[in-house]
Structure 1
Amino acid sequence: MEGLIAYRSQNNEQEMMLEATFQTIEKYKSSQESYRILSIGCGCGIFEQAFLTKLLDLNKYIHFVGVDPNKVECIKIQEWCHKLSTYKPDKFRFEIHPVTLEKFQALQTFDIILLIHSFYYFSEITSSVEKVYKLMEEEGIAIATINLKRPISEPYYYVNQRFYQRQRFYSEDLYRVLSEQNIFFHQETIESPINITNCFEKDSLLGKYLLDFLVDANTTYFSPSQLQLLLDYFRTNSQRLKGGEIMIQNSIGFYYFQKSKEQEIKKGSQENLK
């Protein structure tokens, strides 16, 4: 959590993702008065709070369902949702499920499905996309954000392979699966450089939390040579601005795809041809 907060404080990624998300909602769903919204990998709700609050400010009715295997973070988002339901009792209902996507059993389909930086944590990407598609209401829309594989993500990728023996997925993987599944989608890239200046300041707690988040490991347990190697890598792949800030490029894939009768027919026909 400390790492995520540090990360969010050093770039404007969330603001850009929210803007892109609302542009998509306005384009395809603005006429609806009520939404059934599912957030997969909701965490403690940092993105969801801003998103749901803005929808309520637009006088929409919302039934929100959050899914995340982290029970501690589910308690935090549940507390926030409870406050929101007290403030807007006639406009907002919610359910929080502390389970993985694989174990989530839905009794309904959804108008909007959010996958905000969720795909990194799935054990298998193809089956996850298939389940998301099934959970979508007809004319529903899924919105996903996922990092492109760039120099900033290389340490994270290899740390997960070495320490946790698990695969991490990136935008290139999601693009491939959506294409293979004959799901018609829109994709764009959000560029959001990260200020990593504090990572090079020895006594900076913010820098320490940010570095931990970027590599998905507690760097306290790195040897001095390992830590120096990591910092040298980030320095080499970053840019120092005139003001002295050290910035490293970060690219986020922003995706959305819909479910419609026409698309289902095309998808079924292409699968039959195979």
Structure 2
Amino acid sequence: MATTIRSISEDSEYYAKSFKIIKPQLTRIQADLDKIFEKTIPKKVIVRERGLKVLGIGSGSGELELKHTLQLLRTFPQISLTSIEPVPDHLDEYKQLVAKEADTLKSVTYDWRQQTLDQYRHEVGASKKYDVIVSINSVYYFDDVEDSMIYLRDILEDDGILIIVLVSENGMTYRLWDRFPHLYDASHFHRICSLHLLDVLQKCNIKYDSERIRSDVDLTECFIEGSEDGQYLLDFVSHVIDLRGSTSPECYSEFVSFLKESTRKDSTEENGVRWVFVTEQEVLYIHK
């Protein structure tokens, strides 16, 4: 190996930079999640004589969480939202979004926390409970997944709902992690899929409902030599900072080849040839 392999989760600035490149590709997943939230939370959560209490774990730059908050305001006129996000650039972008919607969000109070779930737990413990807890693709960063799931269920209010979104075993994302495990030996990042989490929930006797969503991600830039955006895409997909420079030429070539062989080749007159990566995620609902 040319240098020590580091996960993008270890560098918040690099993570934010690489996420910006892939973010436009995630609109389909976000649209599916919008529909799921709209049909699920208002029907499942019961709140009487107070505002709705929401905890967002790994809130990112806020686009998705803001949409969900605006949806919730149609049913719950008062909302207090605690947003946990360790990447400072993401939290700053989120605050800017909220500022633009200040008039619409007058009845929403925010508690911004630049920290991980484990840091939040160490500071707050179980002293505060929530009606809605949402974790979208953040379970990979929990220090102890099983212990964290028990904790999150414990801080749910009665009649509350915990929503967890993570990759399934069928999606290309997990297949890459499973195919190249040596890339993550030194990382705190957990290479888990929904099957692993379901085992944890069953072991802890935590009941759940679930459904799956699929989406296409255009990774054509990954296969264009010299493309800076392509390198950031590869780093985000692999979860490795500077995949090309951090691994041997043989490992890098094997990774790119496997990725290309696993994508779908689309061709249209308007866009030419595109290489499309199919991702599948599972949405888990835990009620209390």
TM-score under structure 2 length normalisation: 0.79
1:240 Cα deviation from its structure 2 partner: 0.9
- Relative distance call for 1:160 and 1:25 in structure 2 (3 A) is farther
* Pair 1:4-2:28 in alignment: no
Q: What is the alpha-carbon distance in structure 1 between the residues aligned to residue 157 and residue 224 of structure 2?
A: 49
* Pair 1:239-2:256 in alignment: no
Structure 1 match to 2:3: none
Structure 2 match to 1:142: 162
SS at match of 2:185: helix
1:209 Cα deviation from its structure 2 partner: 2.0
Superposed CA deviations along residues 204-254 of structure 1, whole A, max 9, x for unmatched, are 333222211101122352454433222110111112124322112211011
- Relative distance call for 1:229 and 1:96 in structure 2 (3 A) is same
Cα contact 2:46–2:160 (8 A) shared by 1: no
Q: What is the alpha-carbon distance in structure 1 between the residues aligned to residue 60 and residue 172 of structure 2?
A: 26
**Count of residue pairs brought into register by the alignment:** 258
Structure 2 match to 1:23: 39
1:44 Cα deviation from its structure 2 partner: 2.4
Q: What is the alpha-carbon distance in structure 1 between the residues aligned to residue 167 and residue 191 of structure 2?
A: 11
132-141 or 180-189, which deviates more: 180-189
Structure 2 match to 1:42: 59
Q: Tell me, which stretches of 5 or more residues in structure 2 are unaligned?
A: 1-15
* Pair 1:219-2:243 in alignment: yes
* Pair 1:13-2:29 in alignment: yes
Structure of higher RCO (CA pairs closer than 8 Å, 6+ residues apart): 2
1:58 Cα deviation from its structure 2 partner: 5.7
* Pair 1:161-2:158 in alignment: no
SS at match of 1:172: helix
Match for 1:92 among 108, 112, 116? 108
Structure 1 match to 2:117: 101
* Pair 1:173-2:196 in alignment: yes
- Relative distance call for 1:90 and 1:236 in structure 2 (3 A) is closer
- Relative distance call for 1:89 and 1:226 in structure 2 (3 A) is closer
Structure 1 match to 2:94: 77
Cα contact 1:153–1:214 (8 A) shared by 2: no
1:79 Cα deviation from its structure 2 partner: 4.1
1:148 Cα deviation from its structure 2 partner: 1.3
Q: Which amino acid aligns with 2:282?
A: G
1:81 Cα deviation from its structure 2 partner: 3.6
Q: Tell me, which stretches of 5 or more residues in structure 1 are unaligned?
A: 260-274
Q: What is the alpha-carbon distance in structure 2 between the residues aligned to residue 16 and residue 240 of structure 1?
A: 24
* Pair 1:123-2:143 in alignment: yes
Structure 2 match to 1:182: 205
CA RMSD of aligned residues (A): 2.5
Q: What is the alpha-carbon distance in structure 2 between the residues aligned to residue 63 and residue 118 of structure 1?
A: 21
Structure 2 match to 1:248: 277
29-38 or 177-186, which deviates more: 29-38
204-213 or 31-40, which deviates more: 31-40
Superposed CA deviations along residues 83-139 of structure 1, whole A, max 9, x for unmatched, are 54x324641101012222223215421111000111011121110001100110100
Cα contact 1:8–1:14 (8 A) shared by 2: no
SS at match of 2:118: coil
220-229 or 204-213, which deviates more: 220-229
